């Protein structure tokens, strides 16, 4: 996808008017409007209408709007997909995607909406590459709660038991140019823990993190944006490489480290992302 940033992707229960309204003023890059786990069974049908009305009313600006439907194996899934096809959203997020066939089934119901996949089952992780390769897939969101449940992991501060799944999905996403959003941090009042987990996700290569509470937005936006030091280094690498090229060389040296064409690709991507963030924040 383009240089559009996806640092923060906030879940909002589709049933909660107040939260749906609050999101219009939050500095998030994406909103995951939820009809699935955040909505109680008795509220599912009303939530569909509440959400459709909120999206029609608009006011979400440049935020990327993704609607998470219930699975097609539930009584609400099919109607959710058909309703989402008519909503003012950019994409439909499908829970518990196990295979490309699951994507096909949703694709037949959502018109030309982009499709995002919740990667949150062991089978989905095993099939991550085939799912990412599906021509309707634009984004992956890791569902670390469901993954932990299905894998029967113990809770761990550093997410070690989940690393294989995170990296398998990330690799698949990167191989096929799919947006990769890390899972949620459940302890929404623990800023320090959130920062550590954001940094881990950023270090691994995720584009951003999914969130459950507005208090998590600022830390996440900062963690997934290029730092001033990264921007400054990128500028110096580009300048040094251009100078080396003028002298007929294919390699420059910056801060004692070699800089080759591949580093320039990263440096230019860093500057493009910083510019895109500056544009949406201005």
Ligand X SMILES: CC(C)(COP(=O)(O)OP(=O)(O)OC[C@H]1O[C@@H](n2cnc3c(N)ncnc32)[C@H](O)[C@@H]1OP(=O)(O)O)[C@@H](O)C(=O)NCCC(=O)NCCSC(=O)C[C@H](O)C(=O)O
For residues 137 and 94, give the distance between their C-alpha atoms in angstroms, rounded to a whole number: 10
Check residue 120 for interaction with ligand X (CB under 6 A): yes
Judged by CB under 6 A, the chain residues 200 through 239 that form the site for ligand X are: 212-214
Contact pick of 9, 19, 72, 274 for ligand X (by CB under 6 A): 19
Residue placing its CB nearer to ligand X in the complex, 37 or 43:
37
Check residue 13 for interaction with Mg ion (CB under 5 A): no
Residue placing its CB nearer to ligand X in the complex, 50 or 144:
144
Confirm whether residue 245 is marked as ligand binding.
no
Check residue 10 for interaction with ligand X (CB under 6 A): yes
Residue placing its CB nearer to ligand X in the complex, 10 or 110:
10
Check residue 143 for interaction with Mg ion (CB under 5 A): yes
Confirm whether residue 120 is marked as ligand binding.
yes
For residues 69 and 9, give the distance between their C-alpha atoms in angstroms, rounded to a whole number: 16
Distance of closest approach, residue 201 Cβ to ligand X, in angstroms = 13
Cβ burial of 193 (10 Å; 0-12, 13-18, 19+) is: middle
DSSP string, 120-181: -SHHHHHTHHHHHTSTTEEEEEE-HHHHHHHHTPPP-TT-GGGHHHHHHHHHHHHHTT-EEE
Contact pick of 29, 34, 80, 146 for Mg ion (by CB under 5 A): 146
Instruction: State the binding site for substrate.
Output: 68, 120
């Amino acid at each position: 996808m383009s240089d559009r940033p996806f640092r923060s992707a906030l879940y909002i229960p589709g049933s909660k008017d107040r939260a749906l309204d609050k999101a219009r003023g939050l500095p998030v890059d994406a909103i995951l409007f939820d009809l699935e786990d955040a909505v109680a069974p008795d509220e599912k049908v009303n939530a569909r209408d509440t959400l459709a009305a909120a999206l029609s009313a608009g006011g979400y600006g440049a935020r990327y709007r993704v609607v998470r439907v219930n699975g097609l194996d539930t009584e609400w899934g099919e109607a959710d997909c058909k309703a989402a096809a008519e909503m003012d959203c950019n994409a439909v997020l499908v829970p518990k995607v196990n295979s490309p066939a699951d994507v096909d089934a949703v694709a037949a119901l959502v018109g030309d909406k982009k499709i995002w996949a919740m990667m949150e089952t062991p089978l989905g992780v095993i099939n991550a590459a085939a799912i990412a390769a599906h021509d309707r897939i634009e984004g992956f969101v890791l569902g670390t709660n469901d993954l932990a449940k299905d894998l029967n992991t113990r809770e761990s501060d550093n997410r070690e038991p989940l690393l294989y799944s995170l990296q398998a999905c990330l690799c698949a996403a990167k191989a096929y140019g799919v947006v990769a959003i890390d899972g949620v941090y459940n302890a929404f009042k623990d800023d320090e823990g959130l920062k550590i987990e954001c940094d881990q996700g950023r270090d691994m290569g995720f584009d951003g993190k999914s969130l459950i509470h507005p208090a998590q937005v600022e830390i996440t936006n900062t963690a997934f944006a290029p730092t001033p030091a990264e921007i400054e280094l990128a500028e110096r690498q580009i300048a040094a490489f251009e100078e080396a090229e003028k002298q007929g060389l294919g390699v420059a040296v910056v801060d004692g480290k070699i800089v080759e064409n591949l580093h320039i690709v990263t440096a230019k991507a860093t500057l493009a992302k910083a510019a895109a963030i500056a544009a949406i924040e201005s």
